[in-house]
Amino acid sequence: ELKVEQNPLFLSMQEGKNYTIYCNYSTTSDRLYWYRQDPGKSLESLFVLLSNGAVKQEGRLMASLDTKARLSTLHITAAVHDLSATYFCAVDAYNDMRFGAGTRLTVKP
């Protein structure tokens, strides 16, 4: 059974600092997704990663995928308060889609 583990689950960081969220998964997959959710809101799709070595960047967020290590990272550069949200990764492994538990990020001034 596909398992997806995210860490950390909670992250409090200072504005201007860098940090990385990790997403590990248990079975072979070449499709990994990152989403953002603001409190009380729906999901927003951030990145779609489809192949080994894929790297995508949008503003202060950069996501990468290493299918051999079964690991994706979401790197935050020079965090700002607006990035405070919960971030989820999700893995699609041959029609079995599972989400991580989410990382609640708080960026403090």
Min separation Cβ 90 and another protein, Å: 7
Q: Does position 9 bind another protein by CB under 8 A? A: no
Residues 32-91 that bind another protein (CB under 8 A): 33, 41-45, 48, 50, 88, 90
Q: Give the separation between CA 108 and CA 99, rounded to whole angstroms.
A: 27
- The residue within the footprint of another protein, chosen from 19, 75, 77, 99 (CB under 8 A), is 99
Give the residues lining the site for another protein (CB under 8 A).
Answer: 31, 33, 41-45, 48, 50, 88, 90, 92, 95, 97-99, 101-102
